[in-house]
Chains A and B, each alone.
Chain A
Amino acid sequence: MLSKNLLNSTSFQIAASSFVQIFYFFIVIGAVIVLMVNAELDKHLTRSVLETKKILQTQYLEKGEAGLVQTIEQYGQGRHAENHIYFVADKNSVKIAGNLAVPYRKYGWADVKPEVLGLDEELPFRVYGYKLGELYVLIGVSREITEEVFEIILFVLGVGFSLVLGFILLNGLYQAYITQSRIALIGATLDRIAAGNLMERISLQNNHDDIDQLSVKINAALEQISQLVNNLEQVSVDIAHDLKSPINRLNLHVYSLLKVLEYESEAADKAQLVVAEATAINNTFEALLRIAQIESGARKAQFQHIDLKDTLFSLLEAYVPVIEDGGFHSHIDILKSLPLDINGDKELLSQMFANVLANSLRHCSKGTTLSVFAGYKRKGLIQVIFSDNGAGIPAVEREKVFRRLYRLEKSRTTSGTGLGLSLVKAVAHLHDATLKLEDNEPGVKITFLFKAVDNNSGNSSYTKSHKARFF
């Protein structure tokens, strides 16, 4: 996974960007160098030709035509002949001497292809033709000399360019690897923290680079979050002690009172109501505390590999008789043979599903059918659906029912804290499950989507016949 994302890493992108910039830089610098060297070599060739011209001029002035011809004969056959042209012709362009076989007569400077001059070379010649007395003189130098220099320059530039760019590229990949490794470590640490290990911290390299500085800031934020969670836990303990103790004493006093009151007297009934109210108060903040603790994520550290099917069967074994004896109908669609493995907390999941069932039982009228389905939505994704064909929840209130202490207008007269579905949402969120409440047309449909831990078990058919059997 590291190498797969290496090319996308910031370090590599910076290196690649530097590579492109330096590439263009080398192109421009190379072009300038080539142009300058070319101009300089041109000057050198020109100087070389002009010096030869000067020598020939001197020979002509001192020794006449014979001296010129002799010098050209010597040059055209000597060690200077290679890559050089020395040619002299009479006024009718008839060759007198020189190493040029083909007649040529043009004046001034020119770059001439070797085939025009009848030479078996590859590169053009820089030539200068002029009139000396009645004679036509042509002096030239092959550009091979300049090409060789060009080749050396281009080779040096190319090697230097390749080495530098190669180094940049390799360094970029290395830096990307180092950076990605550190980011992967940070990611793994954050995953462990998200899983509930709030004391985990990102390890530092102590080189004060950007990642180290960012890590320091993340660690500081984690410290603060950890402190907040600790504070929350401390508040929970304080509430448990300071608020529950008076309720506990209140209950004990009422129980003492009940002992001296006549059984089933009006006073005893009132005392029982006091106990019931005190219990309701306690249940409300117990539920609030529990939701807060679940939302803190600390429970994730206790997650285990569980089969959701077992959790559901255990729960349904308890609830189906309640459903049937309460005048409702049940429809269970869960394959016994299909493992529904997730990482989770069985107790919290049981309570979550129990709350959903209890909610339907409380709010639906007799005769309603409560359905439970569990299976794979697709490979790696487990779907658990609780639905009923009762009165349902108005569309505008569907999202609100998950809020703490929110109760539908029609439900205010029934028992309940208004926290049951808040706990459902908190437990689902703790398990990274998607929770959706929809209209079942009629009734309510609550869908949970869990990530399966074993993808091999997915995609089993829903149509197998051996579904759950109860009692």
Chain B
Amino acid sequence: MNILLVEDDSVTAEHIHKGLIEAGYSVDVISDGQQALLMMAAKQKEYSVLVVDRMLPSLDGLSLVRALRQDGCETPVIFLTAMSGINDRVMGLEAGGDDYLIKPFAFSELLARINALGRRGGLQRGEAVLKVCDLEVQMIDRIVMRCGDIIKVQQKEFSLLVILMKNTDRVVTKAMLLEQVWGFHFDPKTTVVETHISRLRAKVDKPYTSQLIHTVRNIGYSLHA
């Protein structure tokens, strides 16, 4: 997967570049908004995800993404920015961003979001049945089954499970779960995610021999065999 990183802070750019290379991605780094626009015009189809800072020289990140969307570019965009005002996230998403990550950030958080966005195209086509090992989720009937047993889960537990299954083998961070399951873009200051994951585990993992939901320390959760 090729990623275009548009970031004018050299330390941040270097760190992300190095981290993504280590994670197996191919990364191009540009520090200027106008140059990024030119680059996308020339090589748009080569990139799977764009990571864009908002405060950039010559053309700010919002204008860059707006221009790309007007040109018909559908490449997923993550804003990576220090602008954390209460309207900034909305402005970013309205400009055409797909995700909004606020600095300072943990690299694992960025990586998880890039992974989720990079896979999004395929997932959005909508699988009717999600299956990981002996765990199965029927999306239309909202049925969860493991080893042939029907497991009764609450609405939010179902949402949690679906997100984890759609990101099988990848890490989903707590912040991503808070945003996607509850729509919280703030720190709940309690163990909301941990508690609901614990309840979900008690239903889909504990009665069975193999554990599928794994905790990734200080980051989030991953569902895999």
Contacts and interface: CB of A to CB of B under 8 A. Distances in A.
A350 B199 contact: no
A244 B82 contact: yes
Interface string A249-264: 1111101100000000
Contacts of A355: 189
B190 A245 contact: no
Nearest to B80: A248
Interface in A224-280: 233, 236-237, 240-241, 244-245, 247-253, 255-256, 272, 275, 278-279
A182 interface: no
B190 A357 contact: yes
A322 B184 contact: no
B104 A282 contact: yes
Given A244-B104, A255-B106, A322-B192, A294 B86 contact: yes
A281 to B, nearest CB: 10
A420 interface: yes
A319 B192 contact: yes
Interface string B83-96: 11111001000000
Contacts of B195: 321-322, 325-326
Given A237-B83, A241-B82, A251 B190 contact: no
Contact of A255 (B107, B188, B191): B107
A146 B189 CA distance: 98
Report whether over half of chain B's contact residues are helix, strand or loop; otherwise say mixed. Answer: loop
A354 B186 contact: yes
B116 to A, nearest CB: 20
A354 B156 contact: no
Contact of B199 (A283, A298, A321): A321
Given A244-B103, A248-B82, A298-B87, A361 B187 contact: no
Contacts of B90: 302
B198 interface: yes
A358 B85 contact: no
A289 interface: yes
A355 B184 CA distance: 12
Contacts of B199: 321, 325
Nearest to B81: A240
A293 B85 contact: yes
B9 A317 contact: no
Contacts of B9: 245, 248-249
B122 interface: no
A312 B36 CA distance: 43
B70 interface: no
A235 to B, nearest CB: 11
Interface of A: 233, 236-237, 240-241, 244-245, 247-253, 255-256, 272, 275, 278-279, 282-283, 286, 289-290, 293-294, 298-299, 302, 314, 317-319, 321-322, 325-326, 347-348, 350-351, 354-355, 357-358, 361-362, 416, 420, 471
26 contacts: A237-B55, A237-B83, A244-B104, A248-B9, A248-B103, A251-B105, A252-B11, A256-B15, A275-B106, A290-B84, A293-B86, A299-B87, A314-B183, A317-B156, A318-B182, A318-B188, A319-B188, A321-B195, A350-B184, A350-B186, A351-B186, A355-B189, A358-B189, A358-B190, A416-B189, A420-B189
Given A290-B86, A355-B189, 18 more contacts: A244-B84, A248-B103, A249-B9, A252-B107, A255-B107, A256-B15, A283-B187, A286-B84, A290-B85, A314-B182, A314-B183, A319-B192, A321-B199, A325-B199, A347-B183, A354-B188, A358-B190, A416-B189
